[in-house]
Amino acid sequence: MNEVVVVGAGLAGLTAGYRLASAGVRVHVTEARPYVGGRTASWDERGMKVESGLHRYIGIYSALPRLMQDAGIDLSKALIWEDEVEIRVPDGPSALYGASPLRRPFRTIWNVAGPGKLCTPGERARLGAFFAAGLLHYAASGSTVLDRHTVRDFAKSKRVSDRTIERILVPLTEGLFFYPPERYSAYVLFALLAQGAKRALRSGVAAFSGGMTEVMADPIAERIRALGGTVETAAAATSLIVRGDRVVGITVRDREITAKEVVLATSLAPAQELVRKAFGIQSWNEGMLSLKTMPSATLQLELERPALPVDRGTFGPGTSLSAFTEQSRTTFTHVPGRLSIILSQAELRLLQRPEEILEEVCRDAPRLGFELKSIVRDYRVITLPHDFYSLTPGMEALRPPQETPIAGLTLAGDYTRQNYLTTMEGAVISGEHAAAVVTRRLNG
Ligand SMILES: Cc1cc2nc3c(=O)[nH]c(=O)nc-3n(C[C@H](O)[C@H](O)[C@H](O)COP(=O)(O)OP(=O)(O)OC[C@H]3O[C@@H](n4cnc5c(N)ncnc54)[C@H](O)[C@@H]3O)c2cc1C
C-alpha cells in the first residue's frame, strides 16, 4: 500500500510529493492531464507548443527556488532575468520600469525618484499615500479592513485620480492577477506588495528558458520517481474513498488506490467537487465550498518575426491585451516570433470564438505601438474556466488551511491559506505545509 497518494501534479502536488518522497515516504502522485505541471504546464496543442499562460518568476520568491534547486534544477539555466516591465497606454505614452534594485539599480531607483511619464507629481504623491495606507492597514490588521474594499474603492478613498487608476493600477492588478481594480480585493494587492516590500532588495522578474513542464515540472516529477515514488498521468481521481471517519484512498476510473494519507492538491473547482461528493457541506468545509472561482484566458501566437524588440512583460491597460510578452528569445525559441497574451475580460473570452479574439487583439495591437495581423502564422486560445479562486473582496476568510479535521485528508493548492495568494510561490508553500501536516500525522 502507498503511504501517501497526492491528487494533482501542479506545483502544489509536486512539492508535497517531492518533500514527502525526500523524507523516505512511499508516494503515488496521480494527475488528470496527460502531462504534469497544472497551471505551470506546457504542452503540444494540435501541433503548436503552448503553455497555460505567460508566467513570470519573481525574485522575492524563496520556496519555489529552494524546491527547484533541491530537485536538481539549475536556476541559472532555467531562468532568464528580464528585470523590466513596460506600460503602454493605448494611443498614448509608454513607460519602462526597472524591477530589480540589484541588477537594474538606476532604472529601478528612477521609478521612484524620476519625473515619471504617466502621471503628474501631485498624482504620484497621492499614489504613494495610497500604497503607504494599504501597507499600514495590512501590517495592522491583515485582511480585516482591506478585504472589504476593492482596489478601485480604496484608491478613490485616498483621492487617487481616475487617470492614475487607469494608467498605473489597472496594469498592476490586471498584470498581477488578470482582473481590473473594481473586481479586485485591496487585500490581495497589499498582501502581495507587503511580501515584496519585505524582500525588496531581491526583487526582479525572470522568464523561463523553455516550456515550464520541460524546465520545471518534469524534472521535479523525475526526482519523485528517482526517490522511489510514482507519478501517473492521464489518471483523474473521481472520488475520495471514505471508510468510517477517515479518508483511505481515491478512485481513479474503476480502480481503488488506497493510502494512509491523501493530499488533495487539485485546483479549487475539482477539490470542491471531490470534497462535496465525499462529505456534503459540513462546518469544516463550508468556507472552502463557498469560495468562488474565476477563469483565465490567453492568446498565444506564432509569428513570422518578433512582434516586439525585447522579451519583457508589458501591460496594455484598457485593451484586450492585459499583459503580454514576446517570447521568441526566451521561452519559445524554435519559431521566429512568439507572443503570449493574457486577455482582459476572461469571462467574455470563454464565450467568444478564437477568430473573434484574434481579430480584437490584432485591432488593439497598433494602439499599443506594434503590428500583428500581417505576421501571424498560427495561434491558440487557452482558457482555464475554474482554476483560480476569486480575488474579489470577502474571499480571504473562506480559504481553508491545509490541515483538515478529517483523518487521512490534507489539502494543498494555491487557494489554501498562505501569504502568496494565487502564485507559483503560494502553490509551493501550500505543498510544503501539506507535506508537514502529513509527516506529523504519519508519525503520530
Ligand atoms: C495564465 C496564467 C498566468 C500565471 N502567471 C503567473 C506568474 O506570472 N507568476 C506566478 O507566480 N504565478 C502565475 N500564475 C499562477 C500559478 O500558475 C498558480 O498559482 C500555480 O501554478 C497553482 O498551482 P497549484 O498546484 O495550486 O494548482 P494547479 O497548477 O492548477 O494544479 C492542480 C492539478 O490538479 C490536476 N487535477 C485536477 N483535477 C484532478 C483530478 N480529479 N485528479 C487528478 N488531478 C487533477 C490538474 O490537472 C492540475 O494539474 C499564472 C497562472 C495562469 C493560469
Let me know whether 299 and 158 are in one domain: no
Separation of alpha carbons 24 and 56, rounded Å: 32
Residue whose CA lies nearest to ligand 1 atom number 48: 38
Let me know whether 303 and 382 are in one domain: yes
Please say which residue of 185, 205, 225 terminates a domain.
205
| E-strand stretches of 149-221 | 205-208
Let me know whether 166 and 156 are in one domain: yes
Residue 1 has pLDDT above 70, yes or no: no
Enter the C-alpha cell of residue 76: 541559472
Let me know whether 56 and 126 are in one domain: no
pLDDT digits (tens, 9 = 90+) for 380-423: 999 999 889 999 999 999 999 999 999 999 999 999 999 999 99
Please say which residue of 190, 205, 220 terminates a domain.
205
Separation of alpha carbons 17 and 26, rounded Å: 9
pLDDT value at residue 115: 53
pLDDT digits (tens, 9 = 90+) for 314-368: 999 999 999 999 999 999 999 999 999 999 999 999 999 999 999 999 999 999 9
Separation of alpha carbons 68 and 54, rounded Å: 19
Identify any residues that bridge with 323 across adjacent strands, giving them in sequence order. Answer: 315, 342
> How many domains, the chain?
3
Let me know whether 119 and 167 are in one domain: yes
- Residue 333 sits in which domain range? 293-389
pLDDT digits (tens, 9 = 90+) for 172-213: 888 888 888 999 999 999 999 999 999 988 889 999 999 999
Please say which residue of 205, 225, 258 terminates a domain.
205
What is the CA(266)–ligand 1 centre distance, in A? 8
CATH code of the domain covering residue 46:
3.50.50.60
pLDDT value at residue 113: 57
Name the band, by pLDDT with cuts 50, 70 and 90, for residue 102.
confident
Question: Nearest-5° angle of CA 77, CA 54, CA 114?
Answer: 85
Name the band, by pLDDT with cuts 50, 70 and 90, for residue 378.
very high
Pocket of ligand 1 (CB under 6 A): 7-13, 30-33, 38-40, 52-53, 55-56, 236-237, 265-267, 270, 296, 298, 342, 384, 387, 413-414, 422-427
Let me know whether 332 and 423 are in one domain: no
Separation of alpha carbons 84 and 100, rounded Å: 8
More confident residue, 419 or 111: 419
Give the residue, out of 62, 177, 291, 424, with the most ligand 1 atoms within 8 A of its beta carbon, to mutate for a pocket test.
Answer: 424
pLDDT digits (tens, 9 = 90+) for 25-81: 999 999 999 999 999 999 999 999 999 999 999 999 999 999 999 999 999 999 999
> Which stretches of 208-267 are DSSP H helices?
212, 218-226
Let me know whether 300 and 325 are in one domain: yes
Enter the C-alpha cell of residue 433: 505545509
Name the band, by pLDDT with cuts 50, 70 and 90, for residue 114.
low
Q: Measured from the CA of 270, which atom of ligand 1 is nearest?
A: 38
